[in-house]
Amino acid sequence: MSRTRLRVAAALAAVLVAAGIATGPAAQAHDRQPTLAELAQRHGRYFGSATDNPELTDPAYTRLLGSEFDTITPGNGMKWYATEPQQGVFDWTEGDQIVHLAREHHQRVRAHTLVWHSQLPDWLTSRTWTAPELRAVLKKHIQTEVRHYRGKVYSWDVVNEAFNEDGSYRETIWYKTLGPGYIADALRWAHQADPGAKLYLNDYNIEAVGPKSDAYYTLARELKAAHVPLDGIGFQAHLALQYGYPGTLEENLRRFSRLRLDTALTEVDVRMQLPATDEKLAEQATWYADLTTACLAVRRCVGITIWDWTDKYSWIPAVFPGEGAALPWDDQLAPKPAYFALRAALGHRE
Ligand code: 9MR
C-alpha cells in the first residue's frame, strides 16, 4: 500500500470508528450494547438473575452472569438445609461464594430465604418441637444468618410461600407449631439482625389479583398497621404459557405500592410444553415484555429477577417433565426472542 493509500485507509477507519460502524476491539468497546441491568437502571430499577453454586464452574455461564445483571440471588445456597445442616452448626460456604462473586461484579444480592417449609434439614423435620423450642430454633437461625450477611445483602426473602392457593395459611411446621404470629416475629428478628436489609414476603401464584394475593394484601396491611418491619412483597412469577398471562399484574402491584410497600418480580420464568416452537417462543417473548412493562408502570416495583438466565440451568425440566424453555437464553446460552423483547420493553431500540 502506498503512503497516500495508507493515510486514506487510516482516515477512513477513524471515520468508521467515530460513526460506530467499524469492527475490531476498540470499536466493539465503543459499540457495546447496554445490558439488561443498564437498561433497567435508566428506569431506576434493577435486573437480576438467580444462580446456583454448581453452575459457577462454567466460565461462559459466569461471564454473562457477571456482566448482564446488577443483582443476583442464590437459588439454594442460603436455604436452611445449606446454612444450618446440624443444629447450631452453621455453614456459609455456598452463600459466601455467591456474595463474593456479586462483590467482584459490583452486584447486589437478594438473599433467599430464611423461613420456608421446604429444603429444611433432617434434624429439624424428623422430630416434634414444643412451641417455645421451635421459636428459639427459628429465632437463632434467622438472627445468626442475617447477622452473618449484615451489610452484605440488599434484601431478604424472610418468609417464603406462607399461603395456600385459597388464601388460607399453609399448614407448615411453623404455622402448625407457632401460629400465624411467626411471620411478624421472623420479620422483627431479621430487622434486629440487619436494620439495613429490605425485608420481603415472597410467593408464587400471587401475580394476579385473587384469593392468594388478597391474603398477602390483608396480611401486609395488618403488619404495616402494627409497625412490623416489612418492606416489600416478592412476586415469584413462575408463569406457564398453558395457564394464561396474569392480566391483573399491574393493578395488583399497584395496590401493594399504595400500602407503602416495595414490590419486585423475584423468580421470573415462563415455561411451556416442549417442544418449543417459534410460535410459543414469540408468545413467551410477549409475556416477558408485558411483565416488564407492568413493573415499570408501578413506581414501587423496584426490579425484576429471572430464576436463572439460561435454559441450561433452569429448575423446570426436573420438576415439570415435558416442560421447559422457560428463560430468555436457550441451553446453548444463545439469546431467545424473550431476551430481545425484554430489551425492547426496557426501552432499547436495536
Ligand atoms: O431453584 C431451586 C431449585 O434448584 C431447587 O431444587 C428447588 C427445591 O424446591 O428450589 C428452587 O427454587 C425455588 C425457590 O427457592 C422458591 N420458589 C420456587 C423455586 C422453584 O422451585
Q: Check if 161 is active-site.
A: yes
The structure's pTM equals 0.92
Q: How many CB atoms lie within 10 A of CB 264?
A: 30
Which pLDDT does position 349 carry in this prediction? 87
- Which amino acid residue places its CA nearest to atom 1 of ligand 1? 75
Q: How far is the CA of 179 from the centre of ligand 1 (A)?
A: 25
Which pLDDT does position 32 carry in this prediction? 85
Sorted by where each starts, the structural domains of the chain and their CATH numbers stand as 33-268+297-324 (3.20.20.80)
Q: What angle do CA 317, 323, 324 make, to 5 degrees?
A: 65
Which pLDDT does position 30 carry in this prediction? 54
Which pLDDT does position 74 carry in this prediction? 98
Residue 156 and residue 150 in contact, taking contact as beta carbons nearer than 8 Å: no
Is any ligand 1 atom within 6 A of the Cβ of residue 267? yes
- Which amino acid residue places its CA nearest to atom 8 of ligand 1? 119
Q: What is the pLDDT of residues 140-151, one digit of tens each?
A: 999 999 999 999
Strands annotated E in the chain: 46-51, 71-74, 108-115, 155-160, 198-203, 232-235, 238-240, 262-273, 301-306, 323-324
Q: Check if 38 is active-site.
A: no
Which pLDDT does position 17 carry in this prediction? 39
Q: How far is the CA of 1 from the centre of ligand 1 (A)?
A: 62
Percent helix, strand and coil across the chain, each to the nearest 5: 45, 20, 35
Average pLDDT, 10 consecutive residues per value, the chain (350 residues): 42 40 46 93 98 98 98 98 98 98 98 98 98 98 99 98 98 98 99 98 98 98 98 99 98 98 99 98 98 98 99 98 98 98 94
3-state secondary structure of 140: helix
Q: Which of 68, 161, 207, 250 is catalytic?
A: 161
Is any ligand 1 atom within 6 A of the Cβ of residue 54? no
Q: What is the pLDDT of residues 119-135, one digit of tens each?
A: 999 999 999 999 999 99
Rounded to whole angstroms, the Cα distance separating 263 from 265 reads: 7
- Which amino acid residue places its CA nearest to atom 20 of ligand 1? 315
